[in-house]
Structure 1
Amino acid sequence: MSPEAPERSMPPVAFVDELKQVLAHLNDFGYLQQHALAARLAATTDPPEPAAGIRLRRAVLRAIESMSPGADVGFRSPHARTYNLLQLHYVEGFTVQEAARELGISERQAYRDIRRGEDSLAVLLEPIFLGSGDVETGPELGAAQLSAPSREIERLNTQSRPVDLHGLLRQAQRSVEKLAALHGTAIVVTAPPHTTTEFLTVPELAQQLLISVLSQIVQTDSPRLEIALEKAHHELHIALRYTPTLDERSGFNLVTAQLADQLGWKIYRHEEPDGQQAVILVLPGSDPTVLVIDDNEGLVELLKRYLRGYAYRVIGATSAQEGLQRAQEIQCDGIVLDVMMPQMDGWKVLQVLRSDAKTSRIPIIICSVINDPELAYSLGASLMLPKPVRRDDVLRALRELGISR
């Protein structure tokens, strides 16, 4: 049996049909808000939830994401095929034919796998809509899955924000002070003059990464741990130097590695000339930052996957208001902007961005199913990319606009 098909009886046919309707209109919030499954979600809250369509969409997206075999499984691997087909077809808007070409399979095989994926989603979502499941925690999961490090990390706020690195280091130092006293370790934090300590990162994850690394070093009984912020070429480093008196465990634990991977930070160990050990955290400050403003959460994840390994940072905003706020905060190098969004559409967002002195010069790529280049350019867009969008198209557009390292 495939991993995405749990061993249990199939849900009622009527529920499966309702779920297929939702999948076919996953990006149509007006339709979702009026759907029977949204009404069931609204009935579970007191007072009734006015945005049940959004909760319905999020529940379906969580169920699809729970079918992912993991980043270490190849995109065209048979084990990832059902998940990728659901992502491409329903989340990213590819036709079945286009999705089949992306995965190098026949159209007939694609239809079979999509049907299988729909059935698996129905099994995952049945407890939420027909049983006692919780829409906010997503599909029914075993205890091991719920407590897995990756899921714990996902539960934290994953939005990057400008933070003071020196302040983060001080907080991490305070968290391990008692442990350091028990091991006789003095911790000294320094930052050279004129070094910018404001950095765009996810503070909740960065804080836990720093605490984890400091704790591991302190437990080597080093008498002194020196922490310094350093500039190296165009990168910012956090250097931790110490002299261990106890044997160290090789490498870092799983959670530390996953935190670093989620942040895009790199960790190196090496020996200093004076016999000290050093751990260097390399922060990805020199990579161009791309802000994606799109109410489709799946597109943000798609662009992150597309740009992984190409020295870009992708920050997502899932509403026009959030996008305008984040454009003010993060000083991004480029913006990918959708048009069809609730409350304020992309055309209005584009005009607001162009009328603000702080954002007026940022290159903006309109990426939408509405393919109207002349209108886009008349309102100040730098480029137009029609959906569904390909990796090569995105990379070509960013390079054409000079958004690259």
Structure 2
Amino acid sequence: MDRPQLNQPDAMDREAWIAHVRDALTHLYDPVHLQSHPLAQYADGGEGLDHLTRAQRLRRTLLEALEQLSPPDLAAAPPDAGICYSALHYRYVDGLGPEQIAELLGLSARQVYRKLREGIEAIATLLWDRWQVNRPEEHASTPAPGLAERPVNTPTQDPVQDRQSLVQATVQQLAREARPELLELTTILEGIVRELQTYCRQLQVRLELGPAPAPCYIHADRSMLRQGLINILTRSLEQQDAGTAVHLKVEARPAENRLCVHIVGSGPRARTETRPSRREGLGYQVATQLLELQGMQVHQQEGSGCHVQIQIPTAGAQSILVIDDMPDIPQLFQRFTAAHGVEIFSAHNATQAFAFLQEVTPALILLDVMLPRTDGWEILQTLKSSPATASIPVVVCSILNEPDLATALGADDYLRKPVSQEALLQLLRRWLHPAPAATPWRPPGGW
């Protein structure tokens, strides 16, 4: 969605201001979006900070304003006093959807949208008052009742100390809120390359993504992964001469159970370049920490040119055996799970199923009951009585509503047909563990 056009600061319209606050909150953890956001000029404070620092400062200011909506004594506050704060926090900090928020807060979806709108307007008023106070020639708007009296933290006066503390605070917050999930790396990279095209045109350089082995599944927090990759890529782009390119390539290393992302440029920007890089190295430091937190390794190659290697542990696709005499069922399940790192195998009868199980041990078996010659109940008994297959979770998937019978006969779970995509994905989340969680990274000596 395009950002609304911003007037000059002395002619700011309230509706445009609110729209920009909403846009900034929506992209709270997207440094590329925030680095050139119209509100960044206010968070800058006129100190001439580089784009990355302005993005971080804007993010921190938004979070500070959000915290001011929380009642000082939540336990003693009226029941609905913290709803706006909770709705905003769930939506923009935790990344939950309106329906999930409605369930958590016991509200309707319409009420959630109203609370989000009220909260955004309150944050917009706080920020307007905060930044207008520092500009005596401008007229401040009337503050929202009960909000203006609350103190607002002012930035640290030492720019170096402020940047360093902001880096650590940002990394710590993201680490605490990390939600690792199964991701397809090529899809993530394709999205980043598309997003950076405007920036590439500004720098007059190209960013090219080479063909990758597919699928490339990894286990990571999506936001932390994207921020780490974006910061490293933008740094590499800024080091290139105009007219050159940065090449991005994914290399599979099956023997090492890892992927290697190569970021290769033609060389550093010449010293005589009239547009020198304004970065101070903090972006690369943050990027390295965000990736290492997730068990990845970042290597800067020495010598001519620009070459960064990022080694990422792979999360292999999990195999699922679907035993069903209707061929369209496995095909449907394959479509449902295409983006979730699983591989669907099918068997139409008991003979095919046991032949497959002699070669492969699947992570999960989905078993229909109404099968020709040997029915599903008999197959279930055989599976659970054999030491080779007894430990494989078996989910009875049938049009018959008989979960108690299935459990009594040894099934681990039950899925009633017709199966929706959400029902299938919920089942997979209960039974599949695509990859072990990465060991949390900590700097020497702790935080």
For normalisation by structure 2, the TM-score amounts to 0.33
Bigger radius of gyration = 2
